[in-house]
Amino acid sequence: MGTFFQKSSPAIKTQKRKEIIMAEFDLIVIGAGPGGYVCAIEAAHKGLKTAIVEKRDVGGTCLNRGCIPTKALLHSAELYEELKKCEKYGINVEGASFDFGKIHEYKAGVVTKLRTGVESLFTANGITLIRGAAVITGEGKVEVDGTEYTAENIVIATGSTPAKPPIKGLDLEGVITSDELLDGEVQFDTSLIIIGGGVIGMEFASVYAALGTDVTVIEAMDRVLPTLDREISQNLSMILKKRGVKINTGAKVTEIKKNDDGTMTCCYEAKGKVGEAVGQRVLVAIGRRPHTEGLFGEGVEVETERGRIVVDGNFATSMKGVYAIGDVSSRIQLAHLASVQGIYIADKLAGGECHIDLSLVPSCIYTSPEIAAIGITEDEAKAAGINYKAGKVLMHSNGKTIIADGERGFIKLVTDGDSGKVLGATLMCERATDMLSELSTAVANGLTVEEMLKVMRPHPTFNEAVTEAFESINGTSIHSAPPRRR
């Protein structure tokens, strides 16, 4: 989290196990993922005596079994895909191939480097790292492997685990979740069935398709990425189908079977018809559920809703002095949201204020091309009865996109029809996730089209298309259609 991690403090403290020690802290954070470790470091910066408890690897799911390892695999897969078509760029590479084991070694090296960095931040900031499974035994009390610790406040940041639907055959060998795929035994699948066309499923579909795997996606909703702009879903489906990915939407999986040859068969129903998909393994990627197993001792409980810990506007639970952030309590499960919630809590407990707008959550999907969004879509503006203007620019005329031989992509903007303030943006193009922050700044600060057009964006860049997207709102872009109004 950049500037939040600069303060130096005494070295990390070591805790003995199997003893009853009353260690007083201002704050104990349970879970060292992106919500927990950012919260702990920010609290230490604010002068709070802080401890953090982690039973697995520091960094949580995001660093060890989620965001970071997935993007490392994507990087390798995209490089391999570039090599396969580099002859058109005048580069000759004979016999291009990949070693899946070494790809995972590279991924593991990235994870280890970042994990070590987080642990060094604990040391530098005088944070007590307690390794083991935490159990909240009462107000201000946390027990870890027989040792009891006390604190004025407790923050639960235990994250989430892969959700598993009640499907017959889900417990068969060969059916895995993203955790096993990223952190388990290295195995390359020449064919893979993915149950779930959400963010996790589509990112893995991109990785394996780039490596030449025969990928089949089965999604229960009527389109992949159903929570995003419909054009995003349609465009991504078209691109992936062109790469050989089979996509079945409106399909409900009824059973998974293991075949005599060791392959798996996934049976599903779609539009009144029965279908089957066969692959080496089945990846279940329908989402994640809050992780609270074993967290509360006998007679201790907090209010929950469908497994999610219920919190108020300040992330306080129903138990005095206990807060919950990140996937364990949030309806939106994203690492950067958990981190900001952690900063919010730390600032509040230290008597300050967090000035980040928690209502504006950037959405980033690392498919190829990338997808990014902030604020509201045109459909949402229409449904809300907002007087809006919408503009769109296609990336096929962007110089950097043509140089990079980019896929069909676009930038869409939604602005207030009266004030001209930017209300939302959706991008599907190369470097979309990197370009989103400029547009997030515009939405968060109520900047107008005219104010965004004051910026001179350099040429040639992917980002200069942002200028054209704003010009399309005014109908002045030479590469866009006339703006749409309501």
What the block records as the tokens of 1 is: 């989290």
In 3D space, the residue among 59, 25, 407 whose CA is nearest the CA of residue 243 turns out to be 407
On average, the pLDDT of the chain sits at 91
> By mean pLDDT, which of 94-103, 177-186, 260-269, 448-457 is the weakest?
177-186
Give the chain's count of helices (H) and strands (E): 13, 25
Q: How confident is the model at residue 431 (pLDDT cuts 50, 70, 90)?
A: very high
Q: Report whether pLDDT(190) > 90.
A: yes
Q: Report whether pLDDT(58) > 60.
A: yes
What is the average per-residue pLDDT within 132-144?
95
pTM: 0.88
What the block records as the tokens of 342 is: 């952690």
* Per-residue pLDDT at 18: 44
Specify whether the CB–CB gap between 79 and 97 falls below 8 A: no
Q: Which residue has the tokens 């579909």?
A: 205
Q: Which helix (H) or strand (E) holds 350?
A: none
Q: Report whether pLDDT(5) > 60.
A: no
What the block records as the tokens of 112 is: 């280890």
What span, in angstroms and rounded, lies between the C-alpha atoms of 392 and 369? Answer: 17
> Is 44 exposed, middle or buried (CB count within 10 Å of its CB: 0-12, 13-18, 19+)?
buried
* Per-residue pLDDT at 7: 40
- The alpha-helical segments, DSSP class H, found in 125-255 are 178-183, 199-210, 230-242
What is the average per-residue pLDDT within 149-175?
94
Q: How confident is the model at residue 475 (pLDDT cuts 50, 70, 90)?
A: confident
- The alpha-helical segments, DSSP class H, found in 257-352 are 335-349
* Per-residue pLDDT at 336: 94
Report the SS3 class of residue 448: strand
Q: How confident is the model at residue 68 (pLDDT cuts 50, 70, 90)?
A: very high
* Per-residue pLDDT at 481: 55
Q: Which residues are catalytic?
A: 459
> By mean pLDDT, which of 185-189, 258-262, 284-288 is the weakest?
185-189
Q: Report whether pLDDT(19) > 90.
A: no
* Per-residue pLDDT at 214: 97
For residue 98, how many other CB atoms are within 10 A of its CB? Answer: 16
What is the average per-residue pLDDT within 325-341?
94
Give pLDDT tens digits for 154-164.
999 999 999 99
Q: How confident is the model at residue 3 (pLDDT cuts 50, 70, 90)?
A: very low
First to last CA, the chain: 40
Q: How confident is the model at residue 474 (pLDDT cuts 50, 70, 90)?
A: confident
Q: Report whether pLDDT(472) > 80.
A: yes
Q: Which helix (H) or strand (E) holds 364?
A: strand 363-365
> By mean pLDDT, which of 85-89, 160-164, 172-176, 359-363 is the weakest?
85-89
For residue 440, how many other CB atoms are within 10 A of its CB? Answer: 20
What is the β-pairing status of strands 322-324 and 147-156? parallel
* CB-based contacts of 227, cutoff 8 Å, min separation 6: 198
Q: Report whether pLDDT(206) > 90.
A: yes
Specify whether the CB–CB gap between 479 and 395 falls below 8 A: no
What the block records as the tokens of 426 is: 């959706």
* Per-residue pLDDT at 485: 59
What is the average per-residue pLDDT within 85-106?
91
